[in-house]
Amino acid sequence: MSDEAREAVGDYRFGFHDPENATIRFDKGLSEQVVRDISALKDEPEWMTELRVKAYHHFIEREMPDWGNCGQLNDIDFDNVTYFLRSSDATERDWDDVPEDIKNTFDRLGIPEAEQKWLGGVTAQYESEAVYHSIREDLEAQGVLFLDMDSGLKQHPDIVKQYFGSVVPHTDNKFAALNTAVWSGGSFIYVPKGVHVEMPVQAYFRINAKNMGQFERTLIIADEGSIIHYVEGCTAPTYSTDSLHSAVVELIAMKGAKIRYSTIQNWSANVYNLVTKRGLAHENATVEWVDGNIGSKLTMKYPAVLLKGEGAHAEIISVAYAGQGQHQDAGAKVHHLAPNTTSNILSKSISKNGGRSSYRGMLQVTPKAHGCRSKIVCDALMLDSDSRSDTYPTMEVGNSTADLEHEASVSKVSGDQLFYLMSRGFTEEEAMGLIVNGFFEPFTRELPMEYAVELNKLLELEMEGSIG
């Protein structure tokens, strides 16, 4: 890593990168031809090519958002991004067949080890496409489809055509349009009626090349009465120039189904992370987002749930850690579209070393949604005077029977708590680390144990040197 890069990103544990061995690499920049070439390369059906082209034109015409961190958004140089890079000729099902250099990367991140221990299936995406994919045989026998998105489109075009873009249309926002135009990779999951996938399935996203854009597209459909837990992790090497991650995730929970989508985003501090995540919950269905934002330069991500069916429930738990040079603009959106729907949002953020964390939320109750209940809690912790914390919650209530609560607070670490712990023999740094871990505890307890341990370690690393 160059000194310049090290200075830019600090002590980032996953900042290594392997030599780039691309089998196909597009030139930088975006045009209709690039979009058509990506589609042709993947041998996609015509409807998908046309959708990509339509989305490309929408992306070009659509203005950059005039809210959020406009300064940084306008710094993105879309002409300096590589929109497609293939590192492996095939998606392997056997870990031994994955190209050596890519395998090394994931070995260092512990992917095969985790898979052996507790995963129901795993997809590892390297640059634009999945390089390794597996699913447990018993799940396959139950009819669970877990594929990378490109394979999903090839093998199940009817399902993909029915649901692709149904929750996040390409006209939703500028970055959803960009993703629809150049998407590659991501996961496609279909869980048949009544099937409970007890082990979580996982996807791991890694950007390795410089100025790379990763635009994965994930579509999860849980049929009636089914249950699935999906976990994703993200890392990238540290370069002195910026990379772009602009994903779209669509979740569809049919009647009585439950989808939990957990993310720990630990991109290096030169990655723009501009993601659209939205779930659709039908009658008595549950959609849960468990969202951890530790890395990236600028994150703008607001996991959303459309509560479309009566009795549907949304649960969003998010944490954000904003260190030096970082802006975590995260939040949650819940739209109560049907009667007796409920939601619960918990957001926790920490700002340190001049970092900025923002909670931006939307809670909407439409006139037909009788008897809705919702609770939002936002807590922010400031660890020094250089940092900043903002909350921008919005509550739109169109039904008189709705019962909604929102509360937010911003504070620093309590001197009393620090004193108490230090009087028990902890150093100030250890005490601060314990308090931070405790602050995030409502989030970590919702994660699978291995992830919770990993998150605690990450936070400890981030907290190193935070005192004095």
Residues at the interface with another protein (CB under 8 A):
65-67, 367, 380, 382-412
Return the number of the residue (47 or 67) whose C-beta is nearest another protein: 67
CB of residue 355 to another protein, shortest distance in Å: 12
**Residue 433 φ/ψ, nearest 5 degrees:** -60, -45
Smallest distance, another protein to C-beta of residue 411, A: 6
CB atoms within 10 A of CB 221: 25
Nearer to another protein, 66 or 94 (CB): 66
Look at residues 334, 284, 333, 279 and name the one whose alpha carbon lies nearest to residue 312: 284
Using N-to-C axis directions, what is the helix angle for 32-41 and 46-61, rounded to 10°? 150
- Closest CB to another protein among 255 and 373? 373
| Residue type present at position 197 | V
- How far, in Å, CA of 56 to CA of 59, rounded? 5
Give min distance, CB of 320 to another protein, in A. Answer: 15
Distance of alpha carbon 428 from alpha carbon 435, whole angstroms: 11
Q: Are 332 and 364 in contact (CB under 8 A)?
A: no
Rounded to 5 degrees, φ, ψ at 75 are -80, -15
Locate the DSSP E strands across 192-339: 201-206, 213-214, 217-222, 227-235, 243-245, 248-253, 258-265, 271-281, 286-293, 298-301, 304-307, 313-322, 327-336
Q: Rounded to whole angstroms, how far apart are CA atoms 222 and 228? A: 7
Nearer to another protein, 77 or 403 (CB): 403
User: Exposed/middle/buried for 158, CB within 10 Å: 0-12, 13-18, 19+?
Assistant: exposed
CB of 400 to another protein, least distance (A): 4
Please report how close the Cβ of residue 292 comes to another protein at its closest, in angstroms: 22
Please report how close the Cβ of residue 389 comes to another protein at its closest, in angstroms: 5
Which residues lie across from 411 on neighbouring strands? 381
Distance of closest approach, residue 393 Cβ to another protein, in angstroms? 7
Question: Toward another protein, which CB reaches closer, 268 or 357?
Answer: 357
* Nearer residue to another protein within complex by CB, 22 or 413: 413
103 versus 356: smaller Cβ distance to another protein: 356
Q: Which DSSP category does 26 fall into?
A: P
Nearest residue (CB) to another protein, 229 versus 356:
356
Q: How far is the CB of 341 from another protein (least distance, A)?
A: 15
